[in-house]
Structure 1
Amino acid sequence: MVARRDVPGFLKALTAKLLGTWLSRLLVLLLLAASLVGVLTGCYSCIANVAEIVLAFFAYAYVHEVAQFLFIDSDVEVAYEDGALTLRAVGEPRWPRLAVACGIVAPGVLGAAALGSFPAFGLVVLLLTLITLLRYLADEVE
């Protein structure tokens, strides 16, 4: 369980979940190795694009979950279920719909702001935001 408004502790718990599998650790290690090889061989542009795309998934997860964490106004625990990181409120959240809305809007703002400087990063974050929005809308329809 993560204490309310304890963002550093929450980020530590989220990082432990994101880097908890051997596959995600291997992916980060390969990305660092490829970046080093790219810098040494001068093929930095293609490596930078790959780094943008991979880091976009991590940035999206952090921004999405932290925005929800800050607005849920309840103690939460981080869980990994069905291949996705989720927050579970312990007790009754005060404004659950506000937390969901902020969890969708915050990564969208990040993606839109990054489009000019880092187009691959911004596009991946915006696509993930759209997928999340569609998933939430589908859950509401059911």
Structure 2
Amino acid sequence: MPWWWWPVGFLTAGVAAAELGMGVSEELSWLPYAITGLVVVAGLLWLGRLRVAVRGSELLVDDARLPVRFVTDAIPLDVNGRRELLGVSADPMAFVVVRPWVAGAVQIVLDDPDDPTPYWVVSSRRPQRLASALLAAAGRE
């Protein structure tokens, strides 16, 4: 996630804690700050938790798994390519996992006769590296 979410989150937590702390005794005045601070840390860590990896013969995207034997191509996308692919030319059957704060992505073209999904679009900070790893695991490089 963007670095600036952390200061904004803590500023918001501070304001909320100040409001909540108005009715708290002096001995416990630190408690609203501790609680809202922990909530912000947990929330921001949860938002940035998505992991994308090629392990063995599978692509793992959070809890989704794709056997690489169905991958026919992996195309790295820059921000403009991602915008075009997810815009007017988007296929409604595509599997999409994108994070708006990540500029790059990979289009993973599939050939699975039992699955109507034509491709996956996955955000990646290193789209070239992910595409190369996918093609190598699929034996297409």
Bin of the TM-score, shorter chain as denominator length: under 0.3
Higher relative contact order (CA 8 A, sep 6+): 1
TM-score (norm 2): 0.26
More helix by share: 1
Q: Greater Rg, structure 1 or structure 2?
A: 2
More strand by share: 2
